[in-house]
Amino acid sequence: MGLAVHYLHPPLSEDVRDYLQARLHPGVQLTVGVEPPEPATYRILIAGRPSREHLSASPELQAVVVPWAGIPESTRQLMAEFPRLALHNLHHNAGPVAEHTVALLLAAAKFIVPMDRSMRAGDWTPRYRSSPSVMLEGKTALVLGYGAIGQKVASLCQGLGMDVIAVRRAAEADSPASVCCAPIESLPQLLPQAAALLVCLPQTSETTGLIGQEELSRLPPDAILVNIGRGPVVDEAALYNALRDGTLYAAGVDVWYNYPTDESERSNTPPSVYPFHELPNVVLSPHRAGSSRDTETLRMAHLAELLNAAARGEPMPNRVDLEQGY
């Protein structure tokens, strides 16, 4: 008997669907659509924000796959009502997000955006002033969160010649020898060493507000913060005030505190109640770190790996701990 899988999203493009289908185990029977098929006999449901009806429709359902990294809070709460179901997600975006993280780090450290604006106006005067750029080589990158994304970020920082310390829930023994891993309890002692603080954490009850005024004050005077995890992991007011007052040297931010709620708001929604856009020492990015021309093929390739493991009777990777939220 085959493995019935339903992809509960707007129809995939023909090219993307063909790409996925070509990589699936012959035993995977895939259906795609905004509603479950009838009769609903799928064993795996691919959906980011399923409804209660979607989870109840198939008596054969065993697992839900969120086709991106991170779990929406509404999905986590709903899944708690279905304890027999396993929840998984995808880490296909780790490479693009890690590259974007380092791009924000370099742009913030080298003040690329203000320089670009000056050059567009024909203004060469920044060339003849004292440079605000800070060196990264030989300094310490503190990677906050050492999952799939954090591990790639750490590797790229090492490529820049930085020493890397990764902070995770516990300093597991499986960490590579080239990266010093430390438990979250050691964060206050590690912050003064960090030339770059790279936030790669999901938002949970434990991580919300983890980086606040006190933590930012512990950073060195020329430290750079980059947040590609979730906005509220870093306290909104504390981040703005630190950048405005110069206690935090610079930042690159891809995740925010205020998002458009519908298409009509996409061109006129500030990302925060604070005017970050007025600050010259922050690079603003519209939550696009995981997006690239290769994103959909990466997503399908990783999804195929996960589904093929299930078709072979093996445990699917990337199972989410509902209690932890990742």
Is 90 exceeded by the pLDDT of residue 325?
A: no
Closest C-alpha among 102, 162, 168, 104 to residue 138: 162
Cis peptide bond upstream of 221, omega within 30: no
**Residues 50, 171: one domain?**
no
Give the number of other CB atoms < 10 A from CB of residue 227.
26
In a domain, 27, yes or no: yes
pLDDT of residue 228: 98
**Residues 108, 221: one domain?**
yes
**Residues 122, 254: one domain?**
yes
In a domain, 324, yes or no: no
**Residues 109, 55: one domain?**
no
Return the SS3 of 29: strand
**Residues 246, 300: one domain?**
no
Residue 45: domain span: 3-93+294-311
**Residues 62, 161: one domain?**
no
In a domain, 325, yes or no: no
**CA 116 to each of CA 124, 146, 205, 224, 253: distance values in angstroms, whole numbers, following the listed order:** 10, 33, 39, 19, 18
What are the tens digits of pLDDT across the range 223-272?
A: 999 999 999 999 999 999 999 999 999 999 999 999 999 999 999 999 99
**Residues 30, 176: one domain?**
no
pLDDT of residue 172: 61
What are the tens digits of pLDDT across the range 135-144?
A: 999 999 999 9
Q: pLDDT band at 169, cuts 50/70/90?
A: confident
Q: How many domains does the chain have?
A: 2
pTM of the predicted model over 0.85: yes
pLDDT of residue 281: 98
**Residues 150, 199: one domain?**
yes
Q: pLDDT band at 103, cuts 50/70/90?
A: very high
Backbone angles phi, psi at 299, to 5 degrees: -60, -45
Return the SS3 of 285: coil
In a domain, 326, yes or no: no
User: What is the pairing mode between strands 163-168 and 224-227?
Assistant: unpaired
- The CATH number for 14's domain is 3.40.50.720
In a domain, 34, yes or no: yes
Q: pLDDT band at 175, cuts 50/70/90?
A: low
**Residues 166, 265: one domain?**
yes
**Residues 121, 238: one domain?**
yes
In a domain, 231, yes or no: yes
Distance CA 139, CA 194 (A): 8
Give the number of other CB atoms < 10 A from CB of residue 34.
9
In a domain, 42, yes or no: yes
In a domain, 298, yes or no: yes
**Residues 40, 114: one domain?**
no
User: In angstroms, how far is CA 305 from the centroid of its own chain?
Assistant: 20
Residue 229 DSSP symbol: S
CB 311 within 8 A of CB 3: yes
**Residues 41, 179: one domain?**
no
Closest C-alpha among 227, 237, 174, 235 to residue 202: 227
